[in-house]
A and B are shown apart, each in its own frame.
Chain A
């Protein structure tokens, strides 16, 4: 009795120490290769310039009757996020059923589905945007397609999991009363998964808004392009204005979406 307890304790100690050593080795490797962090005098100047830009933003850029302005590009960013989320929320449905364990007869079918979804998820939006630009040219449409494709991975996974958690008693009850397939789908399955589906879609929309703000860096529309130009041209007041615009927009969207999600669930 005592012997087994002592053995267990020793084993635990060995486990703890090996993990400590592994973590230590990883950290030594990581920090040994790090370039020294040095502050050049230009860094202080740049920080000062950024902050003064944030305090005195370029209000002329906010609304310009002709040409590009903050409002228009922010709206374009929102369009990209809305349509990208919409596309993926439709396209993810078959993937979700493919990946759900209880919807397939064989385990390996759903495993393949899950793998496909995670492969889609791993592809960064920015690279997808570059690929779609090759197809449809620069502009917001490429961004929409990139976001729409990328979001399938996450929405399909979340939605598939909610299908797996589904309770089948109500659909069986309907079936035993003589309901056909479409009726069972409409009255038993849809009402059950709809709230979580809408909530996941809204959550993905929040993430898509953030992602859409950077797609412009590669030319896929939205606020990213003017931001990069302003940064490269050292127009700090304009950078400040754009940053404030992004922060305000994301905050408002997050707030609205969180309120709706709270009411749904």
Chain B
């Protein structure tokens, strides 16, 4: 009897969930002008756009190498700044380093707030402040990577082994020694790995930041798109893909070695 009731209840739950999902999907498609017919009508247009992109303008490769390097440079500097700012924040928002909730909750709150804003929005905000160019992109990437690295790092700090820390307290280490010899050696590998991971994300992000005026190759993407030079657009896209894949590969190798 009891089993039957339970079964009926779980069936009801599933039914309610299914209905809820269907309602959400229906409301979303009603509210956003989805039409399969326009997709089918538009596919030839998309196809002709693809054809216009071929063949890529190979001579443009050497022309966009400089902005490509600039993009990578932005990602490197942005990630580094972000990682450096993330260190104190990660320590101050871990429960086992700072014992008082009054301190670690506000720090976590700031981190969560920053992580809600996508990097392109940050770039759009920094462009009016720092002017059009690399600096806006670097600052946007720094703030963004700060959010990501600090979050991952504080979770790593909270997961460390308590034994060495207790031993150090027992022999009378002060707080700074405690952090340097107890906490840091345990989290340094994962911290570097998270930074590399964030660097991978940042290279991808940096490639489109120029679209809002924050430097890098995105600026050229925007210009060529506006001038309908689709062969050059495809050159830029292919170039970005190659660079991203190579950087991902290197970074993955490094991360595998670290952990």
Contact = CB atoms under 8 A, between A and B. Distances in A.
Interface of A: 26-27, 29-31, 33-35, 37, 40, 43, 46-47, 50, 75-76, 78-80, 82-83, 86, 118-119, 122-124, 126-127, 130-132, 134-137, 139-141, 144-145, 210-211, 213-214, 217-218, 221, 227-228, 231, 234, 239, 243, 246-247, 250-251, 254
Contacts of A221: 32
Interface string B65-84: 00001101100110010000
Contacts of B45: 134-135
Contact of B204 (A124, A140, A144, A214): A124
A22 to B, nearest CB: 11
A135 B46 contact: yes
14 contacts: A30-B77, A33-B70, A33-B73, A47-B129, A50-B125, A50-B129, A79-B32, A82-B24, A134-B46, A141-B35, A210-B118, A213-B118, A214-B120, A246-B117
B29 interface: yes
A144 B29 CA distance: 10
A214 B134 contact: no
B167 interface: no
Contact of A217 (B38, B80, B120, B135): B120
Contact of B133 (A35, A83, A139): A35
B72 to A, nearest CB: 8
B77 A79 contact: no
Contacts of A86: 25
B245 A122 contact: yes
Contacts of B171: none
Main secondary structure of the interface of A (DSSP, over half): helix
Contacts of A122: 204, 240-241, 244-245
B43 A34 contact: no
Interface in B30-48: 31-35, 38-39, 42-43, 45-46
Interface residues of B, number: 55
A246 B113 CA distance: 11
Contacts of A75: 31
A124 B207 contact: yes
A118 B221 CA distance: 22
Given A83-B32, A217-B211, A26 B124 contact: no
A118 B204 CA distance: 13
A251 B33 contact: no
Given A126-B211, A231-B128, A247 B117 contact: yes
A130 B225 CA distance: 9
B116 A246 contact: yes
Contacts of B117: 243, 246-247
A164 B126 CA distance: 43
A140 B32 contact: yes
A86 B167 CA distance: 51
Contacts of B134: 34-35
B121 interface: yes
B28 interface: yes
B39 A131 contact: no
A52 to B, nearest CB: 14
A60 B50 CA distance: 43
Interface in B226-251: 237, 240-241, 244-245, 248
A211 B118 contact: yes
A242 B170 CA distance: 52
A140 B34 CA distance: 8
Given A124-B208, A139-B33, A79 B129 contact: no
Given A30-B77, A82-B25, A221-B32, A141 B212 contact: no
B152 to A, nearest CB: 15
A33 B117 CA distance: 28
B46 A132 contact: yes
Contacts of A243: 117, 121, 125
Contact of A141 (B32, B73, B211): B32
A29 B125 CA distance: 28
Contacts of A46: 128-129
B131 interface: yes
Contact of B121 (A26, A27, A132, A246): A246
A83 B211 contact: no
B177 interface: no
B112 interface: yes
A135 B32 contact: no
